[in-house]
Amino acid sequence: MRSFKSLVLILGALISVSNAINVVSTNDDGWAEQNIRVLFNDLVAAGYNVVLSAPALDKSGTGSSDAPATTLASACEFNSCPKGSPAEGSDASNSRLNYVNSFPVTSVRFGIQTLSPQFFGGPPDIVVSGPNVGANLGSTTQISGTVGAACEAVKEGIPAIAFSGSTGSQIGFTAAAPSPNYPSIYATLSTTITNTLTSTAKPFLPAGIFLNVNFPSTSSCTSASKFSFVLSRINSASSGTPADVSTCGTTRLPTESSVVGTKGCFVSISVGNATTKDDATAASQATVLSKLSSLLSCI
């Protein structure tokens, strides 16, 4: 017979799990790439209830392409599953790590519609996409699979963040950590932003809105503590573009390219429209500014 103390501990663990924020993690670089696995581990360590659902192969630059998943005609990336594996599958030692042999959009939809009910008993609270290997700045958002997956989540009614980092190359999750350890730095920064957003009241983001986050190079920014976060816009404003939210003494936000390109360690956080993958309205920017105010700074 269990002691009263052990029953209290079990009950506490169950309450903790039931109160955890449910997250679907995805990307376009593939389910076995190091960036996504390091972020998965960081989010779990931070107390999130996470399921990973990402392409079996590198699908970078595929935007919002979508197609039914098919049996693997070759091995998964980094030989993470054998040729002939089923269209959807999971790691033998962790059923929360899942691949889909198709595009990022297809993968995140599988995570939301199929895996989330199994693991969460319903839809996720938020989707995190990336961190992508390489920046997704300005017009690149139109072809980015990382952004495409985040936008698909928003269309499914789930708030989403697309994370991308300037440093890195395609490496498997079993490879030795690079130096500087950019996957760890980017994962810490991604978790920090996710923590700040999900500590606010629901809905975490306005309807139809995603966040496009870009991290600068880690060549001189060698620890997460060195970074600052700046609210930005995806594309340059034309002469007829309505004013942005008023912050840092101006009604025109800096572009994410200019933020990431500024000397120092500045992270750009842009507020995007999931339908157009362009900048959202000043009203949506204002909501995000309010939610992330404790994190944001000015250049």
| Residue positions annotated with a catalytic role | 164
Q: Which residues contact 283 (CB under 8 A, 6 or more apart)?
A: 206
At CA 277, angle to CA 271 and CA 278, rounded to 5? 65
* CB distance 145 to 61 below 8 Å: yes
Cα-based distances in Å from 78 to 84, 100, 127, 235: 15, 15, 25, 35
**Which H or E run contains 270?**
strand 266-273
Structure tokens at 217: 């190079």
The gap between the terminal CA atoms of the chain, to the nearest Å, is 61
Cα 295 from Cα 262, distance rounded (Å) = 18
Helices (H) and strands (E) in the chain, counts: 8, 10
63: tokens are: 């935007």
- For residues 214 and 255, is the Cβ–Cβ distance under 8 A? no
Q: Cα–Cα distance between 26 and 39 in angstroms, integer? A: 10
Measure the CA–CA gap between 56 and 33, rounded to whole angstroms. Answer: 10
Q: What CA–CA distance (Å, rounded) separates 23 from 158?
A: 10
